[in-house]
Amino acid sequence: MKSHREELWFHVPGRRAFINITPQVEAALAASGIREGLCLVNAMHITASVFINDDEPGLHHDYEAWLEHLAPHAPVDRYRHNRTGEDNGDAHLKRQVMGREVVVAVTEGRLDFGPWEQIFYGEFDGGRRKRVLVKIIGE
């Protein structure tokens, strides 16, 4: 069995964003030479997420509104976590809802997606560099 590891780096200047990272993951898969196996894509920061869904702007807007309803950023004093001097208690909760990682089957050298599926990086506390791990194993 072979394995391949890459890190993708992101710097979102604003507080939140959804970024389609499917092309970067596909490039990592191509570089790996793996034809059959599994691809793990993992957010390596506790205020960021990786998830699979449709690349449709209306859906992304709905995610933003829904997450802000579930865990509003302000007022920041509503979160005990923020008593440490942070202002990102909401970002930790949003990450918990959206998930830490995805695993995608690799079949014949391609990500084995269903219709419309794409991989996204979700940023909930931007303003600094963060990384995503891509680990591919197989033959």
pLDDT digits (tens, 9 = 90+) for 52-64: 999 999 999 999 9
Adjacent-strand bridge partners of 132: 8, 43
Domains: count for the chain: 1
What is the C-alpha to C-alpha distance for residues 100 and 50, in angstroms, rounded to an integer?
6
Q: Quick one: pLDDT at residue 101?
A: 98
What is the residue range of 59's domain? 2-138
Residue 119 identity? I
Measured CA to CA, the distance from residue 99 to residue 96 in angstroms comes to 5
pLDDT score, position 34: 98
**CATH number of the domain that residue 98 is part of:** 2.60.120.460
Say what the pTM is.
0.96
Residue-wise pLDDT for 6-23, tens only, equals 999 999 999 999 999 999
